[in-house]
Amino acid sequence: MKKNLLIICLILICGTQVFAQKKWYVSFNGGYALKMSPQNLQNEDLNFIFINSTYNMVSDFIIHDGSIEQIEVSLGKGTNLTLSAGYFLNENFGIDMGLSYLFGGKTNCKYGHYFDVGTNHFSYIHENSISSNMFRINPSLVFTFGSKTITPYAKFGLILGLGSITYEFSDLEKDDYNLNEHTFVKMQMNGGIALGCNATLGLSYNFGKTVTLFSELNLISMSYAPTKGKIVEYIKNGKDELHNLKTGEKEFLFLREFTISSTDIISDNEPTKMLNYRYPFSSIGFNLGVRINF
């Protein structure tokens, strides 16, 4: 009987210790992410290409001199805020569920053609910008190394993203007679779910049992292909002309594939179909935050 009682007591003690190691927590952090694994963006359907260039043209449209620069883009760059909750099963292993929002930074480009043909001088300047916002859900596994005041840790998980991409372009044509033409277009693209993965290396500093400060390096590998787009601003020479655009001129469906037939009846009252385009969202960022343990 005494032996059985001793075994029961040991089991209860061990169980209590394991349970005591389990901890709930909530955390909040913010930081900035830089682009990682950027790509060259060029979409012929949407008529954009991200380069910087300047060309000076002479008679017969021959290039006299100029420069050109490729712009590399990842829409994952920008400011991010994260709220997460987690549960430590023991001192070295836990699970984490994070909700974050990306306020993406803009990427700009400009290319201009300047013509000098005889006594006539005119120019064409095109400017592009693209940016993004994204709500992200990030389930992760957490591994800590030791339980001292300063604790290194690592997190590995998946990311699901609900994003929105804003694309803007401006065309300006000028000549010697001030017959200037200026067009500004703003398009928003969304729909669909982005899927990626992330890895985090961090260092936490424990202030007692309740409050923990931490800093971390976060890597995200992800891309996103929106399923629909819409022109939300169309300004021609300072006048709003959006209402003059038909549905097929301002709304778009981005599809992985679709069929085309000579018997198709194209309606201006339906969105225009285009092949989808996958945008890079990979990033590397640094975050600072606070964690409250329960």
pLDDT of residue 161: 97
pLDDT digits (tens, 9 = 90+) for 55-85: 676 655 566 677 888 889 999 999 999 999 9
- Tally Cβ neighbours within 10 Å of residue 262: 4
Say how far apart CA 53 and CA 111 lie, in whole Å.
4
Tokens at 238, concatenated: 């300072």
Q: What is the largest CA-CA distance in the chain?
A: 112
pLDDT digits (tens, 9 = 90+) for 114-134: 777 666 777 888 899 999 999
* Residue 1 predicted with pLDDT over 50: no
Q: What is the mean pLDDT of the chain?
A: 86
The residues near 141 (Cβ < 8 Å, ≥ 6 apart) are: 93, 94, 95, 96, 155, 156, 157
Overall average pLDDT of the 268-283 stretch = 92
* Residue 90 predicted with pLDDT over 80: yes
pLDDT digits (tens, 9 = 90+) for 5-30: 444 344 333 433 333 345 899 999 99
Q: Which residue has the higher pLDDT, 142 or 59?
A: 142
What pTM was computed for the model? 0.84
Say how far apart CA 251 and CA 273 lie, in whole Å.
9
pLDDT of residue 2: 43
* Residue 169 predicted with pLDDT over 50: yes
Amino acid of residue 272: T
Q: Are 222 and 76 in contact (CB under 8 A)?
A: yes
pLDDT of residue 52: 82
* Residue 244 predicted with pLDDT over 60: yes
Q: How many helices (H) and strands (E) does the chain have?
A: 2, 21
- Tally Cβ neighbours within 10 Å of residue 103: 13
Burial class (CB in 10 A: 0-12, 13-18, 19+), 226: buried
Terminal CA-to-CA distance of the chain, rounded, Å? Answer: 38
Say how far apart CA 138 and CA 116 lie, in whole Å.
55
Q: Which residue has the higher pLDDT, 218 or 173?
A: 218
Please give the domain boundaries of the chain with CATH numbers for all domains.
22-42+72-109+118-293 (2.40.160.20)
Overall average pLDDT of the 28-43 stretch = 92
Which helix (H) or strand (E) covers residue 14, if one does?
helix 2-21
* Residue 251 predicted with pLDDT over 60: yes
Q: Are 21 and 269 in contact (CB under 8 A)?
A: no
pLDDT of residue 113: 79
Nearest residue to 133 (alpha-carbon basis) of 101, 97, 98, 90: 101
Residue in this structure with the two tokens 């990979």, named with its chain if needed: 282
pLDDT of residue 58: 63
Nearest residue to 31 (alpha-carbon basis) of 98, 86, 103, 136: 103
